Amino acid sequence: MAGLEVLYTCVADRIGCPQDAVVCFVHWEMIKNGYRCIGSGDEPRSSDKKSELLPADWNNDKELYSLRYKASDTDTQVVLKAITVDSTLIFNLMNSSTKQVSDLMVSVGDHVNADQLHTFDSVYKDPDGLAQKVKTQLLPAQTERKNRREEEEEPPRRREEDSDPLRMPSRNPRQGGPPHWPDPLVPPFAAGGADLDPFGSRGGGGMIVDPLRSGYPRSGFDPSSGIPDILPPGAVPPGARFDPFGPVGRRRPGPDPDHMPPPGYDDMFM
C-alpha cells in the first residue's frame, strides 16, 4: 500500500472514527487510478486545484462525505459521496458530464479496526479485498476512460463533422478502371442509330433492350433459324435484334386451354 501510509499520516490527527479511515482509503484508490482531488462539496470553488491530498474540510460532516475529483489525463470530473448508514458506508460516484453513477457498500467493521485508528500498520483489515471492491464496483472501467480520452483528443473539426446531420459525406476516390467514354468520331446526332440498323453495324447506341445482346449466353437458340410453330426459318434476319414473344420451344399438341371457356362459364358467380 505504497503512498497510503504517507497520506494516512498526514490526516491522522483528523481521523476520529472508522468511517474516516474508510474514506481515506477510497480516496487513495481514486488517486492510484489517475484522479486528483480538487475540493470538497458539490459546487466548484475558486480555491479548487488538483492534489493528491484530502482537502482540509473533507470530514467535517461525518454523516455525508462529499469530494470532487478530476482525471489527470482528461477533463472528466466526478463527485464522490459517502453516506453513513449505521455501520455501513454507501459510496456513490457520479460523472458530472454523463451523469453515470456507480455504487459501493462497505461494511466498516469488516475493513477497519476501530481501536487502532492511529496505528497505520493495524488499522485496516483485508486492504487488498477492499481495494478490489473499489476498483471493480466503484471506479469506471479502464476501457471506458480510454475511450473518453480518445474522444477528447479527437480534433474538434472531426467531431463537428460527425455530429452534423446535414453534412454531406465526403466522396471516396473512384474505384476500378477508368470510365467508358464514347468514341469522339461518332457523329453527335447518331444517338439511337443502332435501333434503325437490324445488323447492329451503325454507331450511336440504341434505346431498345435486346435480350439476345445483354451479355448473357443463350445457347441453342438462334431466331434466324425459325421457332417451331411460331416463326418460319428466315423470318428473323441473321444478327437482327429480336425479342422473343413467347416461350422458346415446341408447343404441346392440341388446342390451347386458354381458348376454351371453363365449365359453368355462363354462371356470373363462377
pLDDT at 176 over 60: no
Which of 45-54, 117-126, 166-175 has the least mean pLDDT? Answer: 166-175
pLDDT at 222 over 90: no
- Tell me what pLDDT residue 44 has: 85
- Higher-confidence residue of 21 and 232: namely 21
- Higher-confidence residue of 261 and 100: namely 100
Q: Which stretches within 137-258 are classed as H helix?
A: 142-153, 156-163
Helices and strands of the chain, counted as H and E runs? 7, 5
- Tell me what pLDDT residue 130 has: 94
- Tell me what pLDDT residue 122 has: 93
pTM: 0.54
Amino acid at 114: A
Are 212 and 223 in contact, with CB atoms under 8 Å apart? Answer: yes
pLDDT at 191 over 70: no
**C-alpha separations of 38 from 24, 27, 63, 76, 101 in Å:** 15, 12, 21, 12, 19
- Higher-confidence residue of 216 and 221: namely 221
CB atoms closer than 10 angstroms to residue 110: 12
- Tell me what pLDDT residue 171 has: 58
Instruction: Summarize the chain as % helix, strand, coil (round to 5).
Output: 30, 15, 55
DSSP annotation string for 157-171 = HHHHHHH-TTPPPPP
- The kind and range of the H/E element at 94 are strand 88-95
Kindly state the cell numbers that stand for 110. 469488516
Q: How does pLDDT run across 32-84, given as a tens digit for each residue?
A: 999 999 999 988 888 889 999 999 999 999 999 999 999 988 888 999 999 99
- Higher-confidence residue of 53 and 210: namely 53
Q: What is the mean pLDDT of the chain?
A: 77
24 falls in which pLDDT band (50, 70, 90)? very high
Length of the chain: 270
pLDDT at 254 over 70: no
201 falls in which pLDDT band (50, 70, 90)? low
- Higher-confidence residue of 170 and 15: namely 15
Q: How does pLDDT run across 38-47, given as a tens digit for each residue?
A: 999 988 888 8
